[in-house]
Structure 1
Amino acid sequence: MISIKNTLRIISYWPPFLAAGISVKEYDLEKGYIVSKLKRTPFNGNAFGTHFGGSLYAMCDPWYVFLAIHSLGKKYIVWDIEAQIKYKRATKDPVYARFDLSKKDVEKIKLEAKGNNKVFSEFSTEIRNERGDTIAEVKKTIYVRRKIKSF
């Protein structure tokens, strides 16, 4: 399986992201963050010429899961299970979203997952333009559980 670090290096060329204008602008897995970018192209706008809502969501889709998988390691199962996006304003400008998973978040998840407990952790971020205006608010819930040892 390809590592999260290597995935982040090439994911901007993954056809769904490439076609949607989504890229990874910056990341530091050891510091626990990823920044994604969505730029407007002739192929990814909506009927009004602004960013398509599906692309705004897609730029936020995998990052908390990637951060959790990297930080927790191979002893844990991590799934994206719920998402919510609230659109605040339309724009044609490039937009960015930062995803943070702190060491404190990771330790809390590990503690809650002891004894094979299911953990549901909610995270929030904002999609912003270069001026700092909020374009959308995003909430993501991830599921985490320790892998069951097999014999």
Structure 2
Amino acid sequence: MRASTFRRLMNLWPPFLFNSICVQQVSEDWTELRVVLRLRPWNRNYVRTQFGGNLFAMTDPFWMLLTMHQLGNDYFVWDKAGGIEFVAPGREDVYAHFKLEPSVIDELRAAAAGGDKVLRWFDVDITTRSGEVVARVRKQLYVRLKPKARSEASNEQPAPTT
């Protein structure tokens, strides 16, 4: 799927659409993504700040999705765990910027090459336009080479010579 198509579909996805979460940008190479949570009357909490569930939701799928697209179809990529630390009240629109470095993808491929499961934490800050941190979100991903890809890789290795 093209990144631009993905962005449009995510913005029509009801949990995002109805909570004013908008994917602003996805790079064509799937290494960067920007998302905004707009503060609206229907998504404020009792004290008129960003609802904590929406702060987590605006970041929820993106480390997994970027990693899936970078690794390709030969890998299982799942969310394993997550957490959020609330740092300051969100009294305005807030933003998250995800940047998946090529070196991280190389590390995941190398660690998963033998078929073992790999667990890795990813962090993203949720900030105001001016850069004030509102929350810090951590997501742990599970990555594993699929069995078919493992058997193909072992079949490609040359037989030992005697």
For the superposition of Structure 1 and Structure 2, which TM-score range results when normalised by the shorter chain?
over 0.9
Map 1:108-127 onto structure 2 (within 5 A): 108-127=107-126
Using the size of structure 2 for normalisation, the TM-score is 0.87
How big is the shift at 1:141? Answer: 0.6
Q: Is the CA contact 1:22–1:39 (under 8 Å) kept in the aligned structure 2?
A: yes
Stretch of structure 1 that moved more, 28-37 or 131-140: 28-37
What's the CA shift string for 1:8-48, capped at 9, x where partnerless?
22211111101111010112141611111000111111011
Give 1:13's aligned residue: 12
Q: Give the equivalent residue in structure 1 for 2:145.
A: 146
Rg: which structure is higher? 2
Return structure 1 stretches of 4+ with deviation > 6 angstroms.
Answer: none
Give distance in 1, aligned partners of 2:110 and 2:28: 21
The number of residues matched between the two structures is 149
Q: In the TM superposition, what are the counterparts of 1:30-109 in structure 2 within 5 Å?
A: 30=29, 32-109=31-108
Distance in 1 between the 2:131 and 2:67 partners?
A: 27
Distance 1:29 1:118, change over 3 A: farther
The superposition leaves residues 60-112 of structure 1 with CA deviations (integer Å, 9 ceiling, x where unpaired) of 00000111111000000100111110001112211000111111000000000
Structure 2: which 5+ residue stretches go unaligned?
A: 152-162
Where structure 1 has 5 or more consecutive residues not aligned to the other structure, the ranges are none
Counterpart of 2:143 in structure 1: which amino acid?
A: V
Q: Specify the alignment match of 2:22 in structure 1.
A: 23
Which secondary structure does the structure 2 equivalent of 1:93 belong to?
A: coil
- Structure 1's 29 and 79: CA in aligned 2 closer, same or farther, altered over 3 A? farther
Q: Give the Cα–Cα distance (whole angstroms) in 2 for the partners of residues 62 and 34 of structure 1.
A: 11
- State how far apart, in whole Å, the 2-side matches of 1:17 and 1:47 are: 20
Matching residue's letter, 2:93:
P
The code of the aligned residue for 1:91 comes to: G
Mark the CA change 1:13 to 1:99 in structure 2 (over 3 Å): closer, same or farther.
same
Identity %: 34
Shift of 1:122: 0.7
